[in-house]
Amino acid sequence: MLDVDQRREYWRRNVRLMSVLLVIWALVSFGAGILFVDVLNAVSIFGIPLGFWFAQQGSIIVFVLLIAFYVWRMDKLDAEFGITEYEQEVHHQ
């Protein structure tokens, strides 16, 4: 088990990671896909205007990458705090 300081540190780093990822989440969808779509549409990749690409493809791909990064960092964070046993958490009344 973690002591009080470790808990505070664990939670602080978890919240920081979440905040960064959610900012990116908002930037690719609401930002690139909607607010800045006209500006980005001036550029095209594979014939697809960039803003339109973010709205229909790019944001979805970034979403998958964001969760992948989160899962990876949380594993690392858990390892740093010496958490290796997860199966104990199976608990249903």
Partner 1 sequence: MSPIQAWTLVFVVLTFGFYIYIAYRSRVSDTAGFYVAGGGIPAPANGAAVAADWMSAASFISMAGLVAFSQNGYAGSVFLMGWTGGYVLLALLLAPYLRKFGKYTVPDFVGDRYNETARLVSVVCALVVSFVYVAGQMAGVGVVFQRFLGVDRTWGVVIGMAIVFLYAVLGGMKGITWTQVAQYSVLIVAYIIPAVAISLQLSGNPFPQIGFGQILDELDGLQRDLGLAAYTEAFTQTSMVNMVLITAALMFGTAGLPHVIVRFYTAKSVRAARYSALWALFFISLLYTIAPAVGAFSKYNVLTQIPGSAVDDTPTWFNTWRDVGLITVDDLNGNGIIDVAGAIGEGTELAINNDIVVLAAPEIAGLPAPIVGLVAAGGLAAALSTASGLLLVISSSVANDIYWKRINPRATDAQQLRVGRIAMAAAILVAGYLGINPPGFVAEVVALAFGLAAASFFPILFLGIFWKKATAAAAATGMAVGLSVTLLYQLWTLPTFFGNEPILDIPATGIGTIGMILNLITIIVVSQFTKEPSELMQKVVEDVRYPGRSELVAAHAEGHLSEYAEEHHLDDDR
Q: Which residues of this chain interact with partner 1, rule CB under 8 A? A: 1-2, 7, 10-11, 14, 18, 21-22, 25, 29-30, 33-35, 37-38, 41, 44-49, 51-52, 55-57, 59-61, 63-64, 66-68, 70-71, 74-75, 78, 81, 83, 85-93
Q: Least Å distance between CB 81 and partner 1?
A: 7
For 55-93, give the DSSP string.
IIIIHHHHHHHHHHHHHHHHHHHHHHTT----GGG----
Q: What whole-number distance in Å separates Cα of residue 22 and Cα of residue 11?
A: 16
- Least Å from the CB of residue 74 to partner 1: 6
**Residue that is written with structure tokens 């990749």 in the block:** 45
